[in-house]
Amino acid sequence: MKTYRIATIPGDGIGKEVVPAGQRVLEAIAARSNTFGFAFENFDWGGDYYRQHGAMMPADGLDALRDKDAILFGSAGDPHIPDHITLWGLRLKICQGFDQYANVRPTRILPGIDGPLKRCAPQDLDWVIVRENSEGEYAGVGGRAHQGHPIEVATDVSMMTRAGVERILRFAFRLAQTRPRKLLTVITKSNAQRHAMVMWDEIALQISQEFPDVRWDKELVDAATARMVNRPATLDTIVATNLHADILSDLAAALAGSLGIAPTANLDPERRYPSMFEPIHGSAFDIMGKGLANPVGTFWSAVMMLEHLGEDAAARQLMAVIERVTADPSLHTGDLGGSATTAQVTDAVCALLASEAAGGTAATDVKAA
């Protein structure tokens, strides 16, 4: 029996609600298995930790995570601490510290969810956005001088390295190759950003030659937003820079019904370090502490974690159960127009997992049913 060591980092806001829900669901999926289980270790890092210790996480925090098989993360962001401190002090520290350079964001319209696009059938929107997650606009390079004076200056320098662009494009082409349509759209802004983005285009052409069976095209990021809305079926796998893909993936989540559903994986594809799985939403100050957060984004992230761990059957089972739950409007949370609570959705997922364990039904059968 294999035991996976999982670090849970709820962080702030609704992260404290959805991560325990995600842990319960992972425990329920493990209870069905006689081949694997989980050993969870929780870390209370985030805004409260910052108020006590003056930092979002301990200086040697990465060492406590290093030997884990994966990390389940909630959100960093506290109403009383500036966002750049919470983000850089926790989430980016882990992503960059563990060189989780590939951020993978699948988007689909799940059963029972009513997306906002009136001419888009559910099957028309089936995307995976690959976000460069280690450099670019979020390299952290820049500075400020003469603060408060009329000559004040501030810079955020976007840094793109050949090594960084090659590895994310190779990752994206490889991912596109595993999907049925073998179709990749490379997004840039190489008309206006005439140095790094032009290099990005050149490297895309170079890497494409390693993948002759993948069809690919290019789109400027502004045009890409319109294409996502007007011609969603023309997209499949998408690769973009750190900032561009951050913005596009919130749009993608909204087009698929809600930010509360969307998952993400921060991957170190070389597996030198643990990878980190999290819903793409933030702390949601407006609903935190009320038990109203949609936990589906976290559950779908748990599916991605299971896939990363090589537990493909369990991943399929959990995804099938999630889709059964989203198909039932009485289990929709407020972001989907319903009135279900985090606990009710979580209970429903756990109950289905338990009943199928008892009945011995495989999830692939559930999906077909």
Interface with Mn ion by CB under 5 A: which residues? 246
Query: Closest Cα partner for 333 from 299, 291, 301, 303?
Result: 291
Pick from 216, 277, 282, 314: which binds ligand NAD (CB under 6 A)? 282
The two tokens of residue 150 are 């009329």
Pick from 98, 235, 297, 350: which binds ligand NAD (CB under 6 A)? 297
With contacts defined by CB under 6 A, name the span among 22-30, 52-60, 80-88, 96-104 that binds ligand NAD. Answer: 80-88
User: Letter for the amino acid at 70?
Assistant: A
Dist. CA 297–CA 263, nearest whole Å: 5
Helices (H), ranges, 156-241: 162-178, 196-208, 221-230
Pick from 294, 301, 317, 341: which binds ligand NAD (CB under 6 A)? 294
User: Letter for the amino acid at 220?
Assistant: L
> Residue 123 or residue 285: which is nearer to ligand NAD going by CB?
285
Judged by CB under 6 A, does residue 345 bind ligand NAD?
A: no
Provide the 8-state DSSP code for 57: S
The two tokens of residue 92 are 């980016």
Contact yes or no for 337/260 (Cβ under 8 A): no
Pick from 96, 242, 275, 283: which binds ligand NAD (CB under 6 A)? 283
Judged by CB under 6 A, does residue 281 bind ligand NAD?
A: yes
Dist. CA 66–CA 5, nearest whole Å: 11
Contact of residue 246 among Mn ion, ligand NAD, none (CB under 5-8 Å per partner type): Mn ion
Q: List b or e across 54-68, with b for residues whose CB sees 16 or more CB atoms inside 10 angstroms.
A: eebbeeebeeebeeb
Judged by CB under 6 A, does residue 8 bind ligand NAD?
A: no
Judged by CB under 6 A, does residue 103 bind ligand NAD?
A: no
> Residue 81 or residue 199: which is nearer to ligand NAD going by CB?
81
Pick from 60, 63, 213, 286: which binds ligand NAD (CB under 6 A)? 286
CB burial class (10 A; 0-12, 13-18, 19+) of residue 183?
middle
Binding site for ligand NAD (CB under 6 A): 14, 75-77, 83, 86-87, 91, 259-260, 278, 281-287, 293-294, 297, 333, 335
